[in-house]
C-alpha cells in the first residue's frame, strides 16, 4: 500500500458537536500526514488552494481552518474570509478534497466517539486514534510523529498540553 519505510508526520485536530434531537455528543479526531519526501508536494498543493481563496495574501502567513470556512458567522467575523462567496468556498473545499483523494501516499485516520460532553470522551477518542495510527504505521515499517493543533492560542513554537503528554504515562511497555 505505502511504498516507503520512514518517519510519517501526522497532523491532528479535533472537533466536537452536540445534537439536540436526538440528544448526543460526538467527539472526532483526525490525523493526516505523509513521509518527509511527500510533504512539500502536499504543502504546495494546499498553498494553491489558499491562493485561490485569498489571492491577495501570502498563503504562508495564514491558516486554513474548516471551522471558519464552513461557518457563515465565523467567516463574517474574520477579515480574511469575510468577503468570500459560498461558491468560492465550495470550490476551494472541492480542491482540498481532490488533494486528499488523489494522493495515495497520504496517511489519513478519523475516529468519532459518541459519549457525554467532557474530557473522558475526548481522551477516549485521542487514545483510540493514537493507538490505531501507531499500530498501522509501525506494522508497515514506519515511525509516526504526531502533532496536534493546539487547543489554545500561543506564541511558542511548541505547545504541549499536559493531558496529551501524560496520556500514556505509566502504561505498560513490552517488546512482545
Give the tens place of pLDDT for each residue, 104-156.
889 999 988 887 776 677 778 888 888 899 999 988 888 898 887 755 555 55
DSSP string, the chain: -----SEEEEEEEEEEEEETTTTEEEEEEEEEEEETTTHHHHHHHHHHHHHHH-TTS-GGGS---HHHHH-HHHHHH-TTTTT--HHHHHHHHHHHHHHHHH-TT-EEEEEEEEE-SSHHHHHHHHHHHHHHHHHHHHHTT-EEEEEE--SS--SSS----HHHHTTTTT------
pLDDT band for position 17 (cuts 50, 70, 90): confident
- Rounded to an integer, the average pLDDT of 31-39 is 90
Is a pLDDT exceeding 80 seen at residue 80? Answer: yes
Amino acid at each position: 500500500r505505502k511504498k516507503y519505510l520512514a518517519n510519517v508526520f501526522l497532523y491532528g485536530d479535533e472537533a466536537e458537536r452536540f445534537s439536540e434531537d436526538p440528544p448526543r455528543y460526538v467527539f472526532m479526531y483526525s490525523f493526516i500526514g505523509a513521509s518527509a519526501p511527500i510533504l512539500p508536494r502536499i504543502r504546495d498543493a494546499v498553498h494553491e488552494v489558499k491562493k485561490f481563496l485569498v489571492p491577495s495574501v501570502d498563503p504562508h502567513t495564514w491558516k486554513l481552518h474548516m471551522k471558519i470556512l464552513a461557518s457563515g458567522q465565523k467567516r463574517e467575523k474574520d477579515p480574511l474570509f469575510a468577503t468570500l462567496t459560498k461558491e468560492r468556498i465550495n470550490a476551494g473545499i472541492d480542491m482540498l478534497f481532490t488533494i486528499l483523494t488523489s494522493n495515495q501516499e497520504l496517511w489519513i485516520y478519523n475516529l468519532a466517539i459518541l459519549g457525554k460532553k467532557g474530557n473522558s470522551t475526548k481522551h477516549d477518542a485521542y487514545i483510540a486514534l493514537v493507538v490505531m495510527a501507531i499500530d498501522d504505521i509501525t506494522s508497515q515499517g514506519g515511525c509516526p510523529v504526531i502533532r496536534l493543533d493546539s487547543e489554545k492560542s500561543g506564541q511558542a513554537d511548541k505547545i504541549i498540553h499536559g493531558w496529551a503528554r501524560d496520556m500514556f504515562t505509566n502504561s505498560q511497555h513490552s517488546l512482545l
